[in-house]
Amino acid sequence: MSREGALLVRAKQEKQELEDLAVFGGEPSLDDKLYVGRPNIGDRERLLERINDILDRRWLTNSGHYVQEFEQKIAEMAGTRHCIATCNGTVALELAIRALNMTGEVIVPSFTFIATAHALQWQEITPVFCDIDPRTHTLDPKQVERMITPRTTGIIAVHLWGRACNVDALEEIARSRGLTLMFDAAHAFGCTYRGRKIGSFGRAEVFSFHATKFFNTFEGGAITTNDDDLAAKLRLMKNFGFAGYDKVIYIGTNGKMSEVSAAMGLTSLESIDEFIGVNRGNHAQYGEELGGLRGVRLIPYDPDEQCNYQYLVLEIDEEETQISRDDLVQLLWAENVLARRYFYPGCHRMEPYRSYYPHAGLMLPVTERVAARVMLLPTGTAIGHADIRTICQILRFAVTHGADVTQMLRSSRPPGMVTR
């Protein structure tokens, strides 16, 4: 083998010298890009059969056969009386917020996907950003109490990463302070809190079935509730307020799920145990391969609860690793591992909120610290055990040589250059 050939083979294998890292000109460890949130896809044949049936029926949307079946299945799985399927999770949030008569100020975490805040601001309700618990990454009930003002009408808590909020404490605050409590459960389909399925807590819970969620309907979402009146109102609101032909009795919008999305959902449901099993296996493998690596903590899931394990979340302690989270992300991207910084920098530092509330960060020290440390790695059915091994080897190498990598990144970068 030629010298060049031998070098290439070596570079493709484990990193041995800093120069082997792709960020310093080495060969990327992976030929194809690995993404966070690559869709899980169920049985293609079943999906195509259903789509053919939809075409035969000539009923493409407007509460058709498949949407009805989908709503029934989701309600069963969430253990609720009602499920209202929607075109996406964001519209589901907007509908639930409006149907619950939230106004004025509503308390939300800043450490969440921007849709949680936008769904409020879109209807001119002020999202009041509240800090999180550093261990759970979900709303800190003690901080929630501090954010309540005479204008507060509600709380939207987020079951971040699929790990349930402190539901009991939040329900107690909502009850004693007369606030409306609902949950953004976009991450938490199939998860439990104290053994009970997420879906029936608060006045309503909202799921997202976006393509990047572990269980998807291409685009889609749902609201689950046990409240009959609320469900009836939501059904009207998602369909322009139509109560029958030529009869509109309420203000509404178009929030309907289409039949093809429901077909995807029903097909995905048939593989959901497999998706969760793969995620759980991936999580265990990452845990083993990153075990003992100083400064790198894999966020755990409670073994006593059901969970979908859809997010592979690391917290990087830069003092220990001697390399920052952002440098690790840059280094992984060069290797074709597209790690993500969810939910950096926090909603309060994105527009329009950063302009409206430039000092919100003063009340959010934990959010700011966590948002600077968290890094998500690829998981799901689109990646294999060999990929995970490779990702972990890169990380282990980079962290083991953290100080040197940092120094070399600084010296190889033109002064003042900002990479992202």
Q: What is the nearest approach in angstroms of ligand PLP to the Cβ of residue 261?
A: 11
Residue nearest to ligand PLP (CB): 89
Task: Choose the stretch contacting ligand PLP; rule: CB under 6 A; options: 87-95, 101-109, 310-318, 324-332.
Answer: 87-95
Please give the Cα distance from 127 to 143 (Å, whole number). Answer: 15
**In what side-by-side order are the strands of the sheet with 152-158?**
82-86, 221-225, 204-208, 180-184, 152-158, 105-109, 126-130
Please give the Cα distance from 141 to 218 (Å, whole number). Answer: 34
Task: Choose the stretch contacting ligand PLP; rule: CB under 6 A; options: 5-13, 88-96, 169-177, 259-267.
Answer: 88-96
Identify residues 121-180 at the interface with ligand PLP (CB under 6 A).
158
Q: CB neighbours of 360 closer than 8 A, spacing ≥ 6?
A: 110, 129, 348, 353, 354
Q: Which residue has the tokens 């609320």?
A: 230
Residue 112 in contact with ligand PLP, rule: CB under 6 A: yes
Q: How many residues in the shown chain lie near ligand PLP by CB under 6 A?
A: 14
**Binding residue (CB under 6 A) for ligand PLP from 197, 210, 283, 340:** 210
**Of residues 207 and 397, the one with the C-beta less far from ligand PLP:** 207
Residue 344 contacts residue 374 (beta carbons within 8 Å): yes
**Binding residue (CB under 6 A) for ligand PLP from 80, 88, 258, 261:** 88
Q: CB neighbours of 123 closer than 8 A, spacing ≥ 6?
A: 94, 97, 98
- Count the residues in the chain: 420
Specify the DSSP class assigned to residue 239.
B
Q: What is the nearest approach in angstroms of ligand PLP to the Cβ of residue 12?
A: 35
Q: Measure CA of the first residue to CA of the last residue in the chain; give whole Å.
A: 40
Task: Choose the stretch contacting ligand PLP; rule: CB under 6 A; options: 37-45, 85-93, 100-108, 407-415.
Answer: 85-93
**Of residues 95 and 236, the one with the C-beta less far from ligand PLP:** 95
**Of residues 23 and 119, the one with the C-beta less far from ligand PLP:** 119
Identify residues 190-209 at the interface with ligand PLP (CB under 6 A).
208
- Bridge partners, 108 (sequence order): 129
Residue 115 in contact with ligand PLP, rule: CB under 6 A: yes
**Binding residue (CB under 6 A) for ligand PLP from 187, 197, 233, 238:** 187
- Bridge partners, 127 (sequence order): 106
Please give the Cα distance from 63 to 47 (Å, whole number). Answer: 19
Identify residues 211-240 at the interface with ligand PLP (CB under 6 A).
221
Q: Would you tell me which residues interact with ligand PLP (CB under 6 A)?
A: 88-90, 112-113, 115-116, 158, 184, 186-187, 208, 210, 221
